[in-house]
Amino acid sequence: MKKIILILSIILVVVSCKNGDKKAQLDKLKGERDKLTEQINKLQSEIAQEKGDTINLNIPVVGIAEVKTQEFNHFIEVQGKIDGEANVAVAPKMAGIVTKVFVKEGDVVKAGQLLAQIDDAVVRQSMDELQTQLTFANNIYVKQKNLWDKKIGSEVQYLTAKNNKEALENKIRTVKEQMEMSRITAPINGSIEEVLVKVGQLAAPGVVPAFRLVNFSTVKVTADVAEAYSAKVKKGDKVYIRFPDFNDDIESNISFTSKYINPTNRTFTIESRLNPGKFEFRANMIAVVKINDYKNTNAIVLPFSVIQKDAKGEYVFVQDSDGKNMIARKRIVKSGQNYNGQAEIIDGLKAGDKIVMSGYQNLEEGQIIKQ
């Protein structure tokens, strides 16, 4: 068995070596072919020039464009949503049965306005009892104070009366706070978007909010951006926000970038504030956020489709001349960022170079071309 495995291993090594030799041989032949093609095209051109006959040559027609510098921008596109700067779920502060609801969806309310009332009958009864006790305790305190001022009676009696009165006053303040907790009020100015409670329903804090209150005087777009872009996306970066519902774009800036990476989806949150005057925004409306993470004001830009590749790397065809004819020359280039079908060329070209923009698919090095 060991002999069989050894033999198979040797066969695999031999085959892989042969395959490696074949690849190297293929690359060598391709290089020789390119050189031969260049020589053939050159000789054809020279022969045609000597005979004065260029019509019989199958000269390809190409499109030429002169290279000019321009601004190049790269964008990161993420999906976001609209939210009000103040979008509040108003919850009750105490448990109880809802006895009255004073607003409906669409109502505009002010901060502190009463929205709903929770049953506070028991609390009010306690308040009435405490008020009666306080009246009695206050009378005792006044009498003891008058006696003590005249040096009649003991100090203990005076202090006891005073303590009883103050203790009842503190209890009344506590009960008043409990009564206030039975009132569901608006924490901000805004409009009522949802009424989630009904008369007779049990309301409880921390279970289900009673109202949804939104203030859209200031609007923001929030979006989650992949962790990979955390070094590129910064506060103040320009963004273009597109709203599919409006079929329009708004230019803005990033007003906030979170320092927290969500461990579930490895993203961080960004925000951009908008002025709501142009559109009637709605909470959770979809927005496409384009973040300008790279900008070059003096770039050479080509359609990405014009850039071709061979064993030496990326290249384009440029227009050259042999003195009598236009010929195509390969120019090795290096591309940088690319966006929306456009590529930034960071090496190999300069302003004024003439690029073959169409008809380049079957061109060869040194081939005669015409426009």
The DSSP secondary structure of 328-349, one letter per residue, reads EEEEE-EEEEEETTEEEEEES-
The kind and range of the H/E element at 38 are helix 2-51
CB atoms within 10 A of CB 153: 14
Among 90, 85, 95, which residue's Cα sits nearest to residue 107?
90
Q: How far is CA 339 from the centre of its chain?
A: 18
> pLDDT per residue over 328-350, tens digit each?
888 999 998 889 889 999 998 88
DSSP for residue 363: -
pLDDT at 57: 53
Residue 195 has pLDDT above 50, yes or no: yes
The kind and range of the H/E element at 111 are none
CA angle 234, 235, 238 (to 5 degrees): 85
Phi-psi region of 145 (alpha: psi -120 to 50; beta: other; left: phi over 0): alpha
Residue scoring higher pLDDT (280 or 46): 280
pLDDT at 55: 46
Contact 190, 108 (CB under 8 A): yes
Q: How far apart are CA 354 and CA 317, in angstroms?
A: 9
Provide the residue type at 225 as one letter: V
Residue 41 has pLDDT above 80, yes or no: no
> pLDDT per residue over 87-117, tens digit each?
888 989 888 999 999 999 888 899 889 999 9
Q: pLDDT confidence of 12, banded at 50, 70, 90? A: very low
Q: pTM here?
A: 0.55
Residue 51 has pLDDT above 80, yes or no: no
pLDDT at 152: 81
pLDDT at 116: 92
CB atoms within 10 A of CB 208: 14
Structure tokens at 83: 């939210």
Residue 204 has pLDDT above 60, yes or no: yes
Q: Which residues pair with 299 in a beta bridge?
A: 70
* Whole-number Cα distances in Å, 207 to 108, 123, 164, 177: 25, 22, 39, 21
pLDDT at 365: 85
Contact 212, 193 (CB under 8 A): yes
Contact 82, 221 (CB under 8 A): yes
DSSP for residue 197: -
pLDDT at 155: 84
> pLDDT per residue over 354-370, tens digit each?
988 888 888 888 888 88
pLDDT at 8: 46
**DSSP E strand boundaries for 155-257:** 183-185, 190-195, 202-203, 211-226, 238-243, 248-253, 256-257
Residue 59 has pLDDT above 90, yes or no: no
> pLDDT per residue over 77-95, tens digit each?
999 998 877 788 898 988 8
Residue entry with tokens 């030496």: 312
Residue 6 has pLDDT above 60, yes or no: no
What DSSP assignment string belongs to 81-107?
A: EEEEEEEEEE--SS-EEEEEE---TT-
pLDDT at 174: 87
> pLDDT per residue over 239-281, tens digit each?
999 888 787 788 889 999 999 999 999 999 999 988 766 677 7
The kind and range of the H/E element at 370 are none
pLDDT at 3: 42
DSSP for residue 9: H
pLDDT at 367: 85
Q: How far apart are CA 16 and CA 21, in angstroms?
A: 9
Among 259, 258, 254, which residue's Cα sits nearest to residue 269?
258
pLDDT at 310: 86
DSSP for residue 60: P
pLDDT at 13: 44
Q: pLDDT confidence of 7, banded at 50, 70, 90? A: very low
Contact 220, 239 (CB under 8 A): no
Provide the residue type at 241 as one letter: I
Average pLDDT (165-186) is 88
pLDDT at 147: 84
